[in-house]
Amino acid sequence: MKQEGRSDGSGATGKPRYAIRMMGIAKSFPGVRALASVDLAVRPGEIHAVVGENGAGKSTLVKILAGVHTPDEGRIEIDDAEVTISSPLIAQRFGIRMVYQELNLVPDLTVAENITLGRMPQRRGLFDRARAVDDSERVLGDLNAKLDPNELVGNLTVGQQQLVEIAKAYLADPRIIVFDEPTSSLSEHEAAALFAVIRTMRARGIAIIYISHRLREVLDLADTLTVIRDGRAIETRAVEGMTPQDMIAAMVGRELADLFPKRGAPIGQIALSVEGLGRRGVFSGVSFHVRRGEIVGFAGLVGAGRTEVARVLFGLDHSDAGTIDLGDRRLVRLTPIQARRAGIVYVPEDRKLHGLVPSMSVRSNLTLAIIGSLSRWGWIGARRERQTATSLIRRLGVSPPLPDRNVSTLSGGNQQKVVIGKWLATNPKVLLLDEPTRGVDVGAKAEIHQLIGDLVEQGIAVVLISSELAEILAVSDRTYVFHEGRITAELSRQDATEQTIMTAATGEVAT
């Protein structure tokens, strides 16, 4: 059901109808209020961008639209009629289609089959491949996407796969299409193709919600903009006339309570020095250094390449270029075991996936990386192990302080402490922390920051990767800002502000 031909949404009939209106949407999860009260209204044939910091609530909003979550409060209207989106299939029935960054296609079927999956045309009981190809070509043609309908989706590039995903959504004659960070995996060229497609869809009267970090894109593409901050829609306005600075100010502008008192630790010699590090297709020209006793922050948007750099430093991935010097030792062809021995350790982003063994106790998790050194002839020295575990528990303030408790019964914050503790036990010189306070409550967060402060006082060099500006600003002595695989800024403690970091993180500064 296509809308009457309008391309600017102002209504040939004179009365602006909204394709979708969300009013007063609130949603909480245990321990976290994701959305406090959000209003969002999108007209047919409008590209409406939604921007905000990491953790501002955009994803939750999207999931509500998709029918994955239902709001605790608020009202949703589609075409002026109130609706309840209780499941993803219901959302589809209302004409809402999602294009996520994580594509959900069938790699072993062709483009045409993927586009028509679930609604494949039949003729005389058999699959009408010709018509499926025709339909696909028509839809792809409408979207100006040049793809071979008979190609296997698994053989396409990510950008092409995304076009297939869009074509699939488009074939279903949608009212509203939501794009969630669509360009993070695309090349410039592919992104341009995507924008052309989106503009075409706008011309056909589809309401488009476009979520992105990339401010230039938003300025280029969108008609209207809503800024979300701390679970609220702060501002909605037309994009025309806005500058990136305006956007950043809106996204970020709030009083920064000084939650984390910063202590000074004596800063010593250079512990880690990296020159020109590169990994093909992921990051390049990365150069930085960290001194003993220093906390260096790695700021940037999700996907900027910081985790990837850390993984290379720990030997989990290899580099294609550049050098890594630990003290005066050059590290070559690193493996995790060598890295650990040399004194660099990495506390991964996702503690559930890479950090903890959920079936084991706190004690076993704490000693996992050093169990060899606590043993003699392969036999674990039980008393030594217990002592190590107990002292680590005390040092980290793990609660409850019971070494034999199963680690999965601990809260997120305490689990994180256990993961950090595991690596502390190796007596590292350099500690790479990747989002150490993600999913951790405020109290534990403060404790972890305290812990980091203690560690640098003992002479450890710390690299803190975080997507939370407040954290970086509070804790770092110096900050490197990453953008799309490069370092775009090195900021001293005085120079680092939310503005300067955000600006560099969105690529607004000359590299």
Cα dihedral 267/477/289/485 (nearest 10): 170
CA distances from 450 to 263, 289, 460, 473, 474 (A): 9, 23, 14, 15, 12
What is the closest distance, in whole angstroms, from the C-beta atom of residue 243 to other proteins in the complex? 25
Name the residue nearer to other proteins (CB basis): 94 or 346: 346
Cα-flanking dihedrals φ and ψ of residue 127, to 5°?
Answer: -65, 120
- Give 77's strand partners: 21, 82
- Which residues between 69 and 88 bind other proteins (CB under 8 A)? 88
CA distance 6 to 427: 66
469-488 binders of other proteins (CB under 8 A): 484-485
Interacting residue with other proteins among 22, 34, 178, 487 (CB under 8 A): 34
State which of residues 7, 72, 106, 146 lies at the interface with other proteins (CB under 8 A). Answer: 106
Spatial distance between the Cα atoms of 484 and 112, rounded to a whole number of angstroms: 33
Report residue 91 CA to chain centroid gap.
Answer: 24
Least distance (Å) between residue 364 CB and other proteins: 6
196 to 235: interface string for other proteins, x by CB under 8 A = -----------------------------------x----
Site residues (CB under 8 A) for other proteins, limited to 401-420 = 408-409
Q: How many CB atoms lie within 10 A of CB 267?
A: 17
Residue with tokens 């969108």: 222
Closest to other proteins by CB, 406 vs 450, is 406
Question: Whole-number minimum distance, CB 47 to other proteins, in Å?
Answer: 20
Assess 26 for contact with other proteins (CB under 8 A). Answer: no
User: Minimal distance in Å, beta carbon 427 to other proteins?
Assistant: 14
Q: Which residues in 350-369 contact other proteins (CB under 8 A)? A: 350, 352-360, 364, 368-369
Q: Which two tokens stand for residue 141?
A: 């043609």
Is 120 one of the binding residues for other proteins (CB under 8 A)? Answer: yes
Contact call for residue 127 and other proteins (CB under 8 A)? yes
Could you tell me what percentage of the chain is helix, strand and coil, using 3-state DSSP and rounding each to the nearest 5? 35, 25, 40
Q: Is 431 in the site for other proteins (CB under 8 A)?
A: no
**Of residues 228-287, which lie at the interface with other proteins (CB under 8 A)?**
231, 281-282
Residues in region 139-168 near other proteins by CB under 8 A: 154-158
Q: How far is the CB of 311 from other proteins (least distance, A)?
A: 9
Residue 88 contacts residue 169 (beta carbons within 8 Å): no
**Contact region with other proteins (CB under 8 A), list: 126-134, 191-199, 475-483, 487-495:** 126-134
Nearer to other proteins, 146 or 352 (CB): 352
Report in angstroms how near the CB of residue 484 gets to other proteins at its nearest: 7
Residues 6+ apart with CB under 8 A from 325: 272, 273, 274, 275, 331
**Do 111 and 153 touch, CB atoms closer than 8 A?**
yes
